[in-house]
Amino acid sequence: MSDGRAVATSRASSETNRYQPGTWRHIIPETSVEPLREQEDHSVCDADLRGGRPGVQRNLIVQLGSTFARPVPPECVRSFADGVEGHLIRQTDQLFAELGHRGERLKGVVVGVPVTFQRGIFKVQRVVPQVHRVLPSQKPGRKVRKLDENASLRTRNSPKTATTCLRRPTRRIKTPINLLEEGLAAGAFGFTTSRTAKHRAADGRPTPSLTAEHAELAGLALAMKRAGTGVIQVNSDFGAGEFPLLRAVAEPAKRPLSVLLVQMAIAPGRWAETLASVDQASADGLEVTAQVGSRPIGILLGLEASQHPFLTHPLWHQLQALDHETRIGRLTNDGELRGRLVEERPDDDHTREMATILERTFELGDPLNYEPEFEASVANRARAASRDPFDLALELLLQEGGRTLLMHTFENYCDGDLNVVYRMLANRNTVCGIADGGAHVGLICDSSSPTSLLTHWARDRMRGPQLPLEFLVHKQTAATARTYGLHDRGVIAPGYRADLNVIDFTELHLERPIVVHDLPAGGKRIVQRSKGYRHTFVHGIEVAHDGEDTGARPGRLLRGFRSGPGGRSLGASRLEPGDRSGLENCED
């Protein structure tokens, strides 16, 4: 390596191996050029940008207008629309509920990039130019890049109507189009929009972009065509007519389209229909990919987390005044108190929902098991032992000093296994994604999924076929790098960036996720560390050694398309498992 790039590669002999003879280390490109959606909610408060240190090297930040960030210099704070304050409060209310703090307790901390607090009120600022000026000064250990988001652009343009799902929003799209072009010129990697009913404000109103019609989306896409850069990224429920609409938007714009793909419980087979549409569009010559996950989608329940079965119980409210250790000590030593928590449950929506949730909630186990059988759910185990599921759940949650987290699955796990995810991963037109590394910080920590992708699918899976390690590395690195126009990385070859992980694959594993309180004002988040990453290099500089931060900060803000050495692009071939020829010919 020299000047941050690989200059030569060769096969190492045992004499040149710096490790003891008989041991092997896998040297792979960065384990994540992955679009970790909503990563910014806490990663910008984390100098390492790793959300638990799983060897992730760079994150794709998606601007959602409700993010949690470091303070922004005063010269970058310019209010423009007081009318959006109430809406932003509703949009961010859930985030602050998860952090355990209200907005008025976080004076001086910026929400969004940038949004300030004044007298407990949010004031939103112009997003795009400021974030590209502010982030470089932070010098993270990892690379950061950004997309612009439809709801934010809508709110910027028309705060009074952004929160209503307009049937005909086309008269108000000129300003968002100009803002998008401004963002792309400043170095944004594309445009993302939420078209799923799952995204709602705390008052139940849907995301403003939910019902954007063809004219609005097409106007934004054509702005990308004029700019000549950017990826269109969409999170949608993919109801009838949705994919044809998105294709009709992306095709004339001649911009890549990347859609999020999950198996939903309300329509377990819809994912296959959507993936077939992606395959057909790709066969027709369009640049279309589907972002897929590698493990069940769900939340973590814990007595320190944002959700658990007793959250609304009057007895739990009385215990909340105590610190965690005292509270857990009371519960552990007082059998009568535990019995009352279980037997005197309130008859409310939360408790009824938890009764359903426990049907698909599991111990993670040791070693961690991300593909448990339905028989191992808390509810099924309790029934087999003639116990109340809430009683068993409380017993499990009190383990490890009350710090145990249970995994609840609600998507990608309708059949009680990961065979659907296998089919998604094996498809040549998918890339790795669906990993919220920072949103919902008290509920999930998906920044560890690049590690479980390798360990579960290439080594540990017992309930179905595995996938080749080299195929997974390619899908996680070169395939996603190419999707976002980063042609100077994702492979190990002369002239490409020296962004590398040296992995002891035999020892590679994830530790249990834990709750920490290291956000501003003592806010909580879930992190998950890993073992087995011996060395992590960014731009040829070691930023982590045996999983520990070295203090080096070579990371910089990425701005737009990056060509490979000599202007080359990463190969256009998309691989299936076992297709080694494409791995050996990754350059055009």
The pTM (predicted TM-score) of the whole model is: 0.81
Specify the residue for token string 């956000």.
519
> Which amino acid, 10?
S
Q: Please check whether residue 54 is in contact with residue 455, taking contact to mean a CB–CB distance below 8 angstroms.
A: no
What pLDDT sits at residue 422?
97
pLDDT value of residue 121: 29
Query: Strand, helix or coil at 139?
Result: coil
CATH code given to domain 26-295+416-584: 3.20.20
Q: Which 8-state DSSP code applies to residue 560? A: S
Are the beta carbons of 314 and 284 closer than 8 angstroms? no
* Dist. CA 26–CA 395, nearest whole Å: 40
In whole angstroms, give the CA distance from residue 67 to residue 17. 45
User: Peptide bond preceding 114: is omega within 30 degrees of 0, i.e. cis?
Assistant: yes
Phi, psi of 171 (to 5 degrees): -75, -15
- At 5 the pLDDT is 87
Q: From CA 345, how far away is CA 325, in angstroms rounded?
A: 23
The pLDDT value recorded for residue 570 is 80
For residues 292 and 407, what is the distance between their CA atoms, to the nearest angstrom? 19
Q: Which residues of the chain fall below pLDDT 50? A: 14-23, 31, 33-45, 47, 49-50, 52-140, 144, 146, 155-157, 159, 162-170, 583-585, 587-588
* Pairwise CA distance, residues 395 & 583, whole Å: 49
* pLDDT score, position 41: 36
Residues whose CB is less than 8 angstroms from the CB of residue 259 and which lie 6 or more positions away in sequence, other chains included: 233, 234, 235, 236, 238, 243, 246, 274, 278, 288, 289, 290, 291
- The answer for residues whose C-beta is within 8 angstroms of residue 405's C-beta and 6 or more apart is 300, 301, 302, 305, 364, 512, 513, 514, 515, 526
Instruction: Kindly list the domain boundaries of the chain, sorted by start residue.
Output: 26-295+416-584, 306-407
Q: What is the pLDDT of residue 182?
A: 86
pLDDT value of residue 218: 85
Spatial CA neighbour of 231 closest among 571, 482, 587: 482
Which of 262, 235, 300 is closest to 52 using CA atoms? 300
According to the model, what pLDDT value does residue 13 have? 54
Q: What is the pLDDT of residue 191?
A: 85
**Predicted pLDDT of residue 120:** 30
> How confident is the model at residue 353, as a pLDDT?
96
| pLDDT of res. 48 | 52
Q: Is the dihedral of CA 348, 351, 354, 356 positive or negative?
A: negative
Model pLDDT, residue 413: 97
Q: How far apart are CA 114 and CA 108, in angstroms?
A: 12
